[in-house]
Amino acid sequence: MQDRKIRILQILVVPVAAVLVAAMFGTRARAAGKAGYTVEELSPSMSYEEYEKRYKEYYGDATARMAEEGNPADFLLDDGRDLANKVEGSKGKSCASCHGRDAMKLKGAATHFPRYDAAIKGIMTFPMQINACRVQAMGAKPLKYESYDQLALTLYIKSLSNGMPIQVSIDGPARPFYEEGRRAYYKRQGQLNFSCAICHIQYAGYKARSNLISNNKHHTDHWPSYRLKWGKTGSLQRRFRGCLKNMRAKVPPYQDEELRNIEFYLTYSNNGDLIQVPGMRM
Ligand code: HEC
Ligand code: HEC
């Protein structure tokens, strides 16, 4: 598995180096962030339609067949609903005590996450909000990120927003965190000096041996997702960490500031995409 990843990266180094040279001489847009640094915006080398065509050519009916067999992550939904109705903690409450039976009043809540939160002076992700309610409103223990219960509850509450468009706001005090996220997305890092943007914007649709690099539209609308490679359901941040590992870069812990800012930037750029959880990926 490690060997395969290294080969993927080696194959990418040549085209990516060519892009870097092209970027030095070609036209480029400069956007100044609030914090005073500049980000060199990249543009996709093919349209989203062309990318989708390549995706279908590349994976054929493999993903359709996977979908037919059903999504193993669906099994988490029932457990998530049970957790939403379960009384826990020192205050004798469940999510349902405040958010209605089966927490149905939280329909639509996931559309505006992540959001800026004044109390933490930073970005509040959906899993963090759920834990904040457990701790503050229920007097219960926070759920460990990426644990079965944490994923099940997050997945269930998020599924209440299925079919609704992502509507993240970057207005006011949220803006600098969006800029930070964008900067992190464009930051070259790791032993191979890649950035997320080089792959997911500029090189989206290109093949890297056994992987097709995905266009970042729709990157945030389907998490938590089941991944065949993990044999497990996982979060968007788990996926970020996987890519960072492939880049041979530092991998921050779950809900670390950098991962939250990237999630904020990326989710905002997916505004309008319809939430559909759980997703399923190779
Ligand atoms: C004692 C009442 C109470 C309980 C119990 C409670 N919450 Fe909340 N929750 C609130 C309040 C009040 C808000 C809105 C204020 C805020 O954003 O902090 C909120 C906000 C939320 C939001 C964001 C809604 C939005 O539209 O922005 C989510 C998601 C959420 N709660 C999930 C949960 C889950 C899941 C549980 C159970 C683990 C839970 N809550 C338990 C009171 C509660
Ligand atoms: C070397 C190229 C490369 C870099 C750099 C890279 N990724 Fe990826 N990423 C991929 C590939 C290839 C996939 C799809 C893999 C697959 O099909 O399993 C992927 C998948 C993803 C997905 C899942 C998409 C989906 O539809 O489920 C997300 C989210 C993601 N990357 C985010 C990031 C972030 C954030 C960074 C920077 C921290 C990053 N990636 C850096 C190559 C890259």
Q: Which domain holds residue 220?
A: 2-23+30-70+170-281
Contact predicate 143/134, CB 8 Å: yes
154 Cα to the center of ligand 1, angstroms: 12
Task: Say if residue 65 is in the same domain as residue 175.
Answer: yes
Residues catalogued as catalytic: 243
From first to last of the 282 residues of the chain, give the pLDDT tens digit: 344 444 444 445 444 444 443 343 333 334 444 444 567 789 998 999 999 999 999 888 887 788 788 999 999 999 999 999 999 999 999 999 999 999 999 999 999 999 999 999 999 999 999 999 999 999 999 999 999 999 999 999 999 999 999 999 999 999 999 999 999 999 999 998 999 999 999 999 998 768 899 999 999 999 999 999 999 999 999 999 999 999 999 999 999 999 999 999 999 999 999 999 999 998
Handedness of CA 65, 47, 169, 32 (dihedral sign): positive
CA 18, chain centre distance (Å): 28
**54 strand-pairing partners:** none
| Mutation choice for ligand 2 from 187, 214, 225, CB with most ligand atoms inside 8 A | 214
- Ligand at minimal distance from the CA of 206 is 2
Task: Say if residue 106 is in the same domain as residue 207.
Answer: no
Query: Domain containing 101 — which CATH number?
Result: 1.10.760.10
Domain boundary among 99, 134, 159: 159
| Mutation choice for ligand 2 from 243, 246, 270, CB with most ligand atoms inside 8 A | 243
Which atom of ligand 2 lies at the shortest distance from residue 236's CA? 29
125 Cα to the center of ligand 1, angstroms: 13
Domain for residue 210, yes or no? yes
